[in-house]
């Protein structure tokens, strides 16, 4: 514990942002991280609790009090070693994780929590700057081969752990670049893609092989008609081929099937899934040319869905130069402050205003879309109605129908499941939500009903956080290693 009374002496320090007029002209990151002095003060607020709930609040179980103390002592290299021992990619989580660890911070019971995410961000940025992040190739090779299908955070974490255990690992990605939704989903202004590229280079030096533009599934099925899931594959490999060529297969794809809104007018031109809109901008930022890019420039944009994906649509639309941006959420507006005695140490329900909202966005709650309207097949607006909870379900409030002009509507209502044809091609059993059925048990965890085939990340648990994907990738890597070798020294 760096400073016994630090939590009483110092206030929480937030990371800074570049001014709105400046940052909306660019797709570059705009967060201003903590300097050394600010990080030391923030770390001094850690109370080194007898029971550090932050550790269990963090899905990868980062050893948070330890790296806080080391930052306070200005021992940044040791702080990185502690962080690196539990989290393969702190540069991802330090930027885009919502920080459930901070909600679980004991100081959060009656004060502002320690800025754990900002400290993590500071540690990993310094580690890259000083060259502490280096390849860790295995000392000995096992001769075993593993195929990892999907290159999002779950697949990358699993691949890195398995390669370090000495296995020959090949990662298959259906799109043209590695990263999954980190690459084609998260806007560059939240996380620049150079962070993925640096990790790919590290993993290649550790022996991981990457194959892009390869779809794994039944050749005749693809992803199915109307799935609207990004698929830029130029080659197809069947499950049978993978099972013949590799000793184990880990399915680590995302829950990419977007939730639709089947109301009248859904087929009008101008109504799109968020995951049609966001990946296109990522490709443009990468220097690609996108034919027929969905543009918000000069348009009245309505984003349907109040979560992170909706917020990303807001920020991207503002950078396009939208005439106006409005975000609809079907649930009632949550309280500005959570009921801490009721919710701590769990993730609280409260109103969250993102940096994208601050850039310009009208928000409406408890509102449901009844139909899209247009002329000559082109969207002109939509009709909504207010809703309220009655007897445990949302019902329409009579007399509250309203028409809203709109040139572009982006559907950002979450993801319902992985794309079914992939799991069907392998013959993997699915749960009631369409996810791969596999437990997280210590023995036999992450194994599907199909011999040699494992599943982890969103394809198993459904839509979730990057940090949960990393956790599942790490744990699945141990399960695969144990399956191949009869034991495993990998951390779980």
Same fold yes or no, 145-257+416-485 and 260-413: yes
Paired tokens of 219: 């050749």
pLDDT at 228: 78
pLDDT at 150 over 50: yes
pLDDT at 419: 87
CA–CA gap between residue 455 and residue 445 (Å, rounded): 9
Task: Answer whether the bond into residue 345 is a cis peptide, omega within 30°.
Answer: yes
Q: For 186-200, what is the mean pLDDT?
A: 98
Residue 213 · residue 235 · CB < 8 Å? yes
pTM of the model: 0.96
pLDDT at 443: 92
Residue 313 · residue 190 · CB < 8 Å? no
Q: For 15-35, what is the mean pLDDT?
A: 97
CA–CA gap between residue 10 and residue 40 (Å, rounded): 11
Residue 153 · residue 252 · CB < 8 Å? no
pLDDT at 226: 52
pLDDT at 250: 98
pLDDT at 50: 87
Paired tokens of 109: 């019971």
Percent of the chain with pLDDT over 70: 98
Q: How confident is the model at residue 403 (pLDDT cuts 50, 70, 90)?
A: very high
CA–CA gap between residue 40 and residue 468 (Å, rounded): 28
* CA proximity to 408, closest of 259, 237, 268, 287: 268
pLDDT at 2 over 90: no
For residue 444, the tally of other CB atoms under 10 A from its CB is 12
The 10s digit of each residue's pLDDT in 50-98 is 899 999 999 999 999 999 999 999 999 999 999 999 999 999 999 999 9
Q: How confident is the model at residue 218 (pLDDT cuts 50, 70, 90)?
A: confident
SS3 state of residue 372: strand
Distances (CA, A) of 322 to 137, 202, 295, 329, 406: 48, 39, 9, 20, 11
* CA proximity to 456, closest of 441, 446, 442: 446
Q: For 7-34, what is the mean pLDDT?
A: 97
CATH architecture of 6-129: Orthogonal Bundle (1.10)
Q: For 199-216, what is the mean pLDDT?
A: 98
pLDDT at 373: 98
Average pLDDT over the chain, rounded to an integer: 96
CATH, range 145-257+416-485? 3.50.50.60
pLDDT at 224: 53
Q: For 404-408, what is the mean pLDDT?
A: 98
Q: For 8-25, what is the mean pLDDT?
A: 96
pLDDT at 225 over 50: no
pLDDT at 222: 57
**CATH topology for the 260-413 domain:** FAD/NAD(P)-binding domain (3.50.50)
Q: For 267-296, what is the mean pLDDT?
A: 97
H or E stretch including 325? Answer: strand 324-329
Q: Please state the domain extents for the chain.
A: 6-129, 145-257+416-485, 260-413
> How many residues in total does the chain contain?
492
Residue 453 · residue 268 · CB < 8 Å? no
Residue 326, Cβ density class (10 Å: 0-12 exposed, 13-18 middle, ≥19 buried)? buried
Q: Is the dihedral of CA 85, 89, 95, 96 positive or negative?
A: negative
For residue 57, the tally of other CB atoms under 10 A from its CB is 24
Q: Where are the alpha helices (DSSP H) in 15-115?
A: 20-23, 36-44, 53-57, 64-72, 76-84, 90-96, 100-104
Q: Give the angle subtended at the CA of 110 by the CAs of 105 and 115, to the nearest 5°.
A: 40
pLDDT at 400 over 60: yes
Q: Is the dihedral of CA 36, 38, 44, 45 positive or negative?
A: negative
pLDDT at 326: 98
* CA proximity to 137, closest of 93, 91, 168: 168
């Amino acid at each position: 514990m760096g400073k016994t009374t630090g939590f009483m002496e110092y206030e929480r320090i937030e990371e800074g942002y570049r001014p709105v007029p400046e940052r909306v002209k660019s797709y570059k990151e705009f967060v201003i991280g903590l300097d050394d002095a600010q990080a030391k003060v923030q770390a001094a607020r850690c109370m080194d609790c007898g029971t550090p709930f932050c550790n269990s609040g963090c899905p990868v179980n980062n050893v948070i009090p330890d790296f806080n103390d080391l930052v306070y002592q200005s021992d940044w290299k040791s702080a990185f070693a502690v962080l690196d021992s539990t989290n393969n990619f702190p540069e991802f989580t330090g930027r885009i994780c919502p920080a459930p660890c901070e909600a679980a911070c004991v100081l959060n019971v009656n004060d502002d929590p320690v800025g754990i995410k900002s400290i993590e961000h500071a540690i990993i940025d310094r580690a890259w700057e000083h060259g502490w992040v280096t390849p860790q190739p295995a000392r000995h090779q096992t001769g075993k081969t593993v195929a990892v299908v999907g290159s999002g955070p779950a697949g990358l974490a699993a691949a890195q752990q398995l390669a370090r255990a000495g296995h020959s690992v090949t990662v298959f990605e259906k799109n043209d670049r590695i990263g999954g939704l980190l690459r084609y989903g998260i806007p560059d202004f939240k996380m620049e893609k150079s962070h993925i590229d640096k990790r790919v280079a590290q993993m290649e030096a550790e022996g991981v092989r990457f194959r892009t533009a390869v779809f794994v599934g039944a050749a005749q099925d693809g992803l199915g008609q109307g799935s609207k899931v990004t698929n830029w594959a130029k080659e197809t490999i069947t499950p049978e081929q993978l099972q013949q060529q590799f000793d184990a297969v880990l399915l680590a794809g995302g829950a990419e099937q977007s939730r639709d809104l089947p109301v009248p007018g859904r087929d009008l031109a101008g109504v799109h899934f968020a995951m049609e809109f966001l990946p296109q901008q990522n490709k443009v930022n990468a220097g690609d040319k996108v034919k027929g890019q969905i543009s918000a420039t000069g348009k009245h944009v309505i984003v349907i869905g109040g979560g992170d994906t909706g917020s990303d649509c807001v920020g991207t639309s503002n950078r396009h130069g939208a005439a106006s941006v409005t975000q609809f959420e079907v649930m009632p507006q949550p309280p500005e402050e959570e009921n801490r005695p009721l919710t701590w140490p769990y993730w609280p329900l409260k109103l969250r205003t993102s940096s994208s909202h601050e850039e310009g966005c009208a928000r409406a709650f408890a509102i449901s879309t009844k139909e899209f309207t247009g002329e000559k097949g082109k969207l002109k607006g939509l009709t909504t109605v207010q809703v309220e909870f009655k007897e445990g379900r949302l019902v329409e409030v009579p007399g509250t129908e309203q028409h809203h002009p709109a040139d572009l509507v982006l559907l950002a209502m979450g993801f319902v499941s992985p794309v079914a044809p992939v799991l069907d091609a392998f013959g993997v059993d699915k749960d009631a939500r369409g996810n791969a059925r596999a437990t997280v048990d210590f023995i036999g965890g992450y194994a599907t009903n199909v011999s040699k085939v494992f599943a982890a990340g969103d394809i198993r648990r459904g839509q979730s956080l990057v940090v949960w994907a990393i956790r599942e990738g790490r744990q699945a890597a141990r399960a695969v290693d144990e399956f191949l070798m009869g034991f495993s020294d990998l951390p779980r």
